[in-house]
Structure formats: structure tokens, C-alpha cells
Amino acid sequence: MGVSLALVGYICSQQYVHGIIYSVICLSITTSLPWLFIGRFCQCIVSNALYIVGMATMAENIGSEHMGKIAGLSSILTAAGTCSGPVMAGFLFGIGGYWTAWAGAALFLVADIIMRLLMIETPQKRHHNGSLCAEEPLPSSETGPLLSGDRSSATEEIGGWRFYLCLLRQPRFAAGIVSYFVFALFIASFESTIAMHVRATFGWGVFPVGLLFASIQGPGMILAPLVGVLKDRVGSKVPTTTGFIFLAPFMWALGVAGDERFPWATLGTRGKIIYGVCTTMIGCFMCLLMGVGTMEATATVDELEGLHPGIFGPYGGYSRAVAVTNMTWMSGLLVGPILAGYMVERFGYLELQWVLVVVSLLASVNAAVNLSSASPQKKELDNDFGADEL
């Protein structure tokens, strides 16, 4: 899935992709294991395309200055779909069997395609960009040739590997994807070790483990919109830096709880209480990390497009930039379980938490130095959102 993201981002920057329905049909009618893997592979690729196209479309139509709200809303909808999908599939399977369950999935995809076809495209720049361009004075005949030459050089399109090199050379973009990678690394590390650790340390069963996962993921569904509004107002630097800093002590306490080397954290039910409180606080502070990669990616594309109009071609660079952030997210989800498994088996759970604490503090320094704060123009646009654009 992660390997396909760069290619998917390029394709999405050229045209929209709606091929996921073909992979669903392939998965539903196949009776062969190889075709099952082929259908699942195609489904992963096109699912990435749908995510990238969706985020890029929202950024183009709503504006990257509202990317925090977009990230918060998409987080809630993704969590709601992840929770309700298995329930609905099980309900349909119980009513009508195998084909009814697959028909429900296909029906949702058809509805999605219809809505995308009905969506009004806005290829021109957003309103505030257009107004700025309209207010620029026309060049006089004396300065016309000089400005014409500057404009032609400024609009030289870059593509291929030069596009990604151009983005990675921007400190805010690089810091954003690094922060996104660390965020995914934390989630994957927790999810791959929590169940095993609490079963061995506290003797907990399936239900308490489920509550722990809910304590990590639940705050995101509640706080994501508020964090999105906050990031749109103050930028991603302060919330992301704060999140990484405050995650560190709770991750350390997570490793201390139930460890015999710390008797004060194992007395009676104290270890269980500490562990439960820490997972809840980690879930709360992780909300401050949501959307940092996508926000910085779209803001970087806007900044470069403002300095060099047309540099990313007629379709812009949102899709490819979002694809890079999604690739770093997938990389974090891949590295997290590997790191966690190695550290726990070789050293121990507390040592794993120490590593995550160091990574979190380093990530906070990176965020504080390189991430961006909201510009005055962005704050003004955010205050006017809803009055001028709705």
C-alpha cells in the first residue's frame, strides 16, 4: 500500500480515479486465492487514490488555510466508517448472506461515484487568491517585456522526481512529514504491544484491552474538530510541539506501571489505574498531532504556487503532496510494530517506552524549529470563513 502512494499521487494529479468498484467485484466473485490477493491489492491502491483525491479536492475547494478543520472532520468520518462498517456488513450478512453483504459495499461505492460526478469542479484559484490577482496593476508598455520574461520563467513547470525534491527542500514540509511519521509510529507501537503487555502484567482479558484501545482512539473522535479549529487559528507549530512534549511523561509512566523495579507503581491496583489513566491522556494529547502532515503539505504547495504560479502544472501539486504525507504515515505504521516487537523481546516494555520518549522529545524540537505558525493573512481568512465563502 505504501509503495503505491507516490504513483497514485501522480495519477490523481492528472485525473480522478474511481476504480475501487472493480476491485470489490473481483473480491466478491472470485473463488481462487490468487485472484483474492490480486483484488485486495487493487483495492488497496484505489483506496489510497480515493483518500488522496478526497483530501486534495477539499483543499482545493475549501482552502488549505482551513486544513485543520478538514483533518478534524475527516478523522471523525474515518473513525465512524471504521466502526460502523463491520457492524453493517455483519447485519447484511445475517439478513441475506454473502452476496447481500457485498451488494451493500457496492451500493455505497456507486453512491460515492455519483456524488463525485455531480461535484462542481473549481479549476481556478480560490477566491482570495483570485481577488489578489485581480487587484494587481497591469504592466505598462515600458515594463511589459521584462515582466513577461519573469512570468515565463516563474511558470516553468516541474514534475517527476524534481517535484518531490522541491517539496523535501522546504523545512516546513519535511518537518510535517517527520511529525506525521512519528505520530503513526506511536500508534502502531501502542497497538502492537498493549494487549500482550497488559495480559502478562495485569492479567486482563479481551474486554479491558478493548477499553484501553477505546481510551486511545476515543478522544480523537471528540477533540479532533476543536483541535482542527485551533490549528487553523494558531498554526501547527504550537499544538504539535505541545503534543509531543506532553506525550513523553505519560509514555514513561506507561512503562513504569506494573514494573517490579518501581514498587510504588505496582502496589495493589495502583499499576492498573496508572496504566488506564496514561492511555487516556495519551489519546487526548495525540489529538494535537492530527493532520500535521497534510496541513504542512498543502500550505507548502500554496506557498510555492504563490511565489511561482503554475510551477506544479495545471492540476496543481496537492495530490502528489498528500500522497507523500500518506506514504510517511504508512511507513510509520510499518516501522512501529517492528520497533516495538524488537525492543520488547530484546530489552523490555519499559525500555520501549524510553525509546518512544526520546523520539517524542526529538520530534518536539523538530516541530518547534521547523513547523509554521498561522500568518496574519491566514488568521484574517479564518475569521472571514463562513461569511464570504459560504
Mean pLDDT of the chain: 77
pLDDT at 378: 52
This prediction's pTM: 0.75
Greater model confidence, 30 or 152: 30
DSSP E strand stretches across 105-180 = none
Q: Residue 262: pLDDT above 80?
A: yes
Q: Residue 16: pLDDT above 60?
A: no
Please provide residue 373's backbone torsions phi and psi, each rounded to the nearest 5 degrees.
-100, 165
| 188-191: Cβ within 8 A, 24+ apart | 188/332, 188/333, 188/334, 188/335, 188/336, 188/337, 188/340, 189/336, 189/337, 189/339, 189/340, 189/352, 189/356, 190/216, 190/279, 190/282, 191/216, 191/336, 191/337
pLDDT at 14: 45
What number is the average pLDDT over the span 346-370?
95
* CATH architecture assigned to 159-373: Up-down Bundle (1.20)
